[in-house]
Amino acid sequence: MFIGALASTARAQSNDDPTARKLYLDFGGSVGLFIPYDQVKGQKTLTGSNAMTALQLNYHQNYFAKLQFGQTTVNFKSQSNFGTINSLIDAKANSTNLGLAFGYQHSFGRWQPFILAGAGASFIDVPATSFSQSTNTVNYTTFSGTYLYINAGGGVNYKVSKSFIFFLEGQGSTIPQLPNKSSTHLSGISAMIGIKAPL
């Protein structure tokens, strides 16, 4: 009778742990530093920030599919010459990214290293300039567009408790079709820290 009660308690505790199920979700977010691949020669290293929210479907604790929604913001400087007129922009570029990544993870006690790769859509906004010869005017506008977004990376989860996971993640991302200009530093490396919880 006593052994049966212990077995029932063990089963109940297992059922209380979402990660013990064959399929389970976790939800969380992360923030971190973004460093573009392309830098402006002779200028201070450009940096930015990355913030991401993710919903992850896990299968047997090892395989997962992650829906990612985030925004990258980066500082940049762009200089243009229109005859005798010089134009200098010192502002920020933004990309809002929505993608799906697939990955593999493996647990070693409380630690769980993982790798992932995916793709999606990137909605970008970057300042741009144009020159009107008829009015001798420099026009400042915003260039917007939607492009293919590809990312890959890895990191490690640390299971603090059944309902709280802390993680570190590094990702490299690229927007292949985006022109490599001084005002489009939106492909780069992100180093992020985050938390998530099994649902």
Beta bridge partners of 113: 156
* 21-198 maps to CATH 2.40.160.20: yes
- What separation, in Å, do the N-terminal and C-terminal C-alpha atoms of the chain show? 33
CB proximity list for 8: less than 8 A, separation 6 or greater: none
CB proximity list for 161: less than 8 A, separation 6 or greater: none
pLDDT in tens, the chain (199 residues): 544 544 444 444 445 677 778 899 999 999 999 998 877 677 777 889 999 999 999 998 899 999 999 999 987 667 677 777 777 777 788 899 999 999 999 999 999 999 999 999 999 887 777 777 777 777 777 778 899 999 999 999 999 998 899 999 999 999 988 765 545 688 899 999 999 999 8
Is the Cβ–Cβ distance between 56 and 64 less than 8 Å? yes
